[in-house]
Amino acid sequence: MTSQKLKDARDFLSKYLPFAPAKEQPAFHVTGGIGWINDPNGFSVYQGEYHLFFQYYPYSNRWGPMHWGHVKTRDFIRWERLSVALAPDMPYDKDGCFSGCAIELPDGRQMLMYTGVRQERQENGVVDDFQTQCIAVGDGINYEKIEANPVLTAADLPEGGSPHDFRDPKIWREGETYYMVVGNRPADGSGSILLYESADCFQWRFVSVLAACHNQFGRMWECPDFFPLGGKHVLLTSPQEMTSIGLEFHPGNGTVCLIGEYDELAHHLLRESVQAIDYGLDFYAPQTLETPDGRRVMIAWMQNWETSNCRDETLRFFGQMTVPRELSVRDGRLIQNPVRELEAYRGVKISYRNVMVCGETNLQGIKGRILDMTVTVRPANENTLYRRFRLSVARDGERCTTIRYKPESNTLRVDRTNSGFPHDIVSIREFQVRPRQGEIKLRVVMDRYSVELFVNDGEQAASFVIYTPQEASAISFDADGTVLLDIEKYDLVFDGTERAGQSV
Ligand code: FRU
């Protein structure tokens, strides 16, 4: 049965989506078309297609009671918009259908598991969230919330666990058993990741605390995901209230990747390394799926709570997803590169080899706002280190977005101070990189309102949103000292059909 709330959201979208023309949307990054989105949810394979749901409030460009929006794709690049999947229409989720996951059941139905939020005023007058895990089952378009909801409540928490911060379930299957990780706040006030198991995906039993924060990396750990990769196990999570640690972690909402061995008896992650997942300004709440050919692919909200009040008010959408990224583990680190499917959209190739740059340089054919470009930078003279290299994109007379490398400190700095924001927000991020034999390789993927940077074949990524007018499409190179550049640049070409944000 379709509730009035769900029907209203679906009607609203069909009526107003035509007012958000495709040319004012990213060409291949998912948005809500109109309205607000945050976390990716239910990123999964269902009946041979990739489905993606997301936290959605269609009625305005600001966060509101959460619905689930829905798109699907065959290649991670061209997305088809489907109707809104969930609305906050039950007593147990009346204040929001928060983040969660999707899985195909053995009987061919698709199951969504999400966090239902109900707010209540406490005796002391404070309004608090009560968060429970709930299930909806459907056919890839329409979903019914089950009678037994909520299926996980405060009664399923380990001692000291908070029912106010109990959210973002992610399920996977191992043989005959289903497992689920979910974020929680234990008695020490920081975050922990709880592990549950089930034989049928409907009835769940608490197993263990898979990993805990102990107030070390932020506090509440949101949106966990856990999977094997490259002989190790990887836990992704998005901590709130981080404090900075060197150039690795910035304050506020951040993302953390813990890599280690999985102790299958104790059901505990024995952590070996901890790193940021993305070093840019706009990245949060990543979620992964495994493709039928065995690739682990991650997508994230290309936005951050810290700057989410800052927007271009002329646009009908707020929030977009990253390009989906293939993950691997190399030398104990998480590696991420855009899905290989993106290469099918490459148009004309423009390439240069050994271009000597000392001072500012523009190159014929190197410009654009929807592109995939790789620049390899090395010193012109092995004995004289240059002081600085700068790549400027989305450039016109007044504005530009820059990526600067300093070989002396091995630091990269992204700067979007002059990228169309009418707000005084954090616009610079600096991070440590590892050059290889003196070279640094920068792959830049741009799509109208974003820049995603992949350093040294995916060893690090840095994502950020820009609102610079589209006419600002110049690209320039600049060095203090002398560098040699190799450049390979492709425009990304779409023929206009079935673009994200376009079809209903
Ligand atoms: C993370 C998050 C989740 C929650 C959702 C609400 O960005 O705070 O923990 O489920 O957003 O929209």
Q: pLDDT tens, 351-387? A: 999 999 999 999 999 999 999 999 999 999 877 889 9
Nearest atom within ligand 1 for CA of residue 223: 9
What integer best gives the mean pLDDT of the chain? 95
Euclidean distance between CA atoms 145 and 166, whole angstroms? 19
Nearest atom within ligand 1 for CA of residue 99: 10
Ligand 1 centroid to Cα of residue 150, in Å, is 18
Ligand 1 centroid to Cα of residue 405, in Å, is 34
Q: What average pLDDT does range 490-501 have in this prediction?
A: 67
Euclidean distance between CA atoms 453 and 194, whole angstroms? 33
Nearest atom within ligand 1 for CA of residue 220: 9
pLDDT above 50 (res 219): yes
Radius of gyration over alpha carbons of the chain, in Å? 23
Q: How many CA atoms lie within 13 A of 397 on its CB side?
A: 0
Nearest to 100 by CA among 87, 112, 83, 86: 112
pLDDT above 60 (res 498): no
Euclidean distance between CA atoms 29 and 26, whole angstroms? 6
- pLDDT tens, position by position, 47-60: 999 999 999 999 99
Residues with Cβ within 6 A of ligand 1?
38-39, 55, 66, 98-99, 115, 167-168, 222-223, 284-285
Q: Atom 9, ligand 1: which residue's CA is nearest?
A: 222
Q: What single-letter amino acid sits at 364?
A: Q
Euclidean distance between CA atoms 208 and 267, whole angstroms? 6
Confidence of residue 499 (pLDDT cuts 50, 70, 90): very low
- Judge whether 129 and 164 are in contact, CB under 8 Å: yes
Residue 345 has φ and ψ, to the nearest 5°, of: -100, 10
Residue 284 has φ and ψ, to the nearest 5°, of: -160, 155
Q: What average pLDDT does range 182-201 have in this prediction?
A: 96
Q: Atom 6, ligand 1: which residue's CA is nearest?
A: 98
Partners of 402 in beta bridges: 392, 415
* Distances in whole angstroms, Cα of residue 342 to Cα of each of 73, 78, 324, 491: 13, 10, 9, 11
Cis, peptide link before residue 150, omega less than 30° from 0: yes
Non-local (6+) Cβ contacts of 314 within 8 A are: none
pLDDT above 50 (res 503): no
Partners of 174 in beta bridges: 177
Confidence of residue 182 (pLDDT cuts 50, 70, 90): very high
Ligand 1 centroid to Cα of residue 203, in Å, is 24
Quote the pTM value: 0.96
- pLDDT tens, position by position, 225-254: 999 999 999 999 999 999 999 999 999 999
39 included as an active-site residue: yes
